[in-house]
């Protein structure tokens, strides 16, 4: 039996990553744009509050269970910035290239280039669900000035993984799903979803 879930995002990269891991488990993921749902406001200062707001918004407008993520990159030397502002760090319109340029420039005068990708996933059974399922993951690396690799999206070409000696954009999609912040959060979420469906 397929369990239909609305993904509270229109990001094709996220849909591909999440679908690759959820489809084999019997979950049928649809973007909110398929239902004409506009993007939710994300006025909060934390990933978890924004993810919950997005999930409730998508569920309320579709009547379906909803899965939302909020994720970004947090640079240690910048006090966790860009953080929840990662997607629009360089302003509107959203641009991965300009976001990366701004992050590299912001870190240029800092010796500490360490950063981590962070992801929180929230699943609500219905819009007013008092017991949302929540899972998170963190992926440590460093920000490098020159981009490397063609894969991934967002900050991936600048996110250096010392242990692998490559950027996130140089990993295969399978490898990235195993290691990434979203992959970690999703593994934890899948376990919670399995338990909740029993």
Helix ranges, 63-172 (H): 96-107
Angle between helices 12-22 and 181-197 (to 10 degrees): 50
Helix ranges, 88-127 (H): 96-107
How big is the CA angle at 22 (ends 196 and 33), to the nearest 5 degrees? 100
* Catalytic (active-site) positions: 70
- The token duo for 188 is 């934890």
CATH 3.90.950.10, applies to 3-197: yes
Instruction: Enumerate the domain spans of the chain.
Output: 3-197
pLDDT digits (tens, 9 = 90+) for 178-188: 899 988 998 89
Element (H, E) at 184: helix 181-197
Contact at 8 Å (CB) between 137 and 181? yes
pLDDT tens string, the chain, 198 residues long: the values are 568 999 998 877 778 878 877 888 788 999 999 999 998 988 899 999 999 999 999 999 999 999 999 999 999 999 999 999 999 999 999 999 999 999 999 999 999 999 999 999 999 999 999 999 999 999 999 999 999 999 888 999 999 999 999 999 999 988 988 899 988 998 899 889 878 765
Q: For residue 149, what are the CA distances in angstroms to 17, 104, 153, 155, 198?
A: 18, 16, 10, 11, 41
If DSSP codes are grouped into helix, strand and coil, which group holds residue 68? strand
The 10 Å CB-count burial string (b at 16+, else e) for 52-76 is bbbbbbbbebbebbbbbbbbbbbbb
Contact at 8 Å (CB) between 68 and 58? yes
pLDDT of residue 178: 87
**Residues with Cβ within 8 Å of residue 86, at least 6 apart in sequence:** 71, 72, 73, 99, 154, 155
Q: Specify the pTM.
A: 0.89
């Amino acid at each position: 039996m397929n369990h239909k879930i609305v993904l509270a995002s229109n990001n094709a990269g996220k849909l591909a990553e999440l679908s690759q891991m959820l489809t084999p488990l019997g979950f049928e993921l649809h973007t909110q744009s398929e239902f004409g749902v506009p993007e939710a406001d994300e006025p909060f200062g934390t990933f978890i509050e924004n993810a919950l707001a997005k999930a409730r918004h998508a569920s309320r407008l579709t009547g379906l269970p909803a899965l939302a993520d909020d994720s970004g990159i947090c640079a240690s030397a910048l006090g966790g910035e860009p953080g929840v502002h990662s997607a629009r760090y360089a302003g509107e319109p959203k641009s991965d290239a300009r976001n990366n340029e701004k992050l590299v420039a912001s870190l240029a005068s800092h010796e500490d280039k360490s950063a981590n990708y962070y992801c929180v996933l929230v699943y609500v059974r219905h819009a007013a669900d008092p017991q949302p399922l929540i899972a998170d993951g963190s992926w440590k690396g460093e920000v490098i000035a020159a981009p490397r690799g063609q894969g991934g999206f967002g900050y991936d070409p600048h996110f250096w993984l010392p242990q692998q000696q490559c950027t996130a954009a140089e990993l295969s999609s399978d490898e990235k799903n195993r290691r990434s912040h979203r992959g970690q959060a999703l593994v934890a979420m899948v376990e919670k979803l399995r338990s909740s469906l029993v």
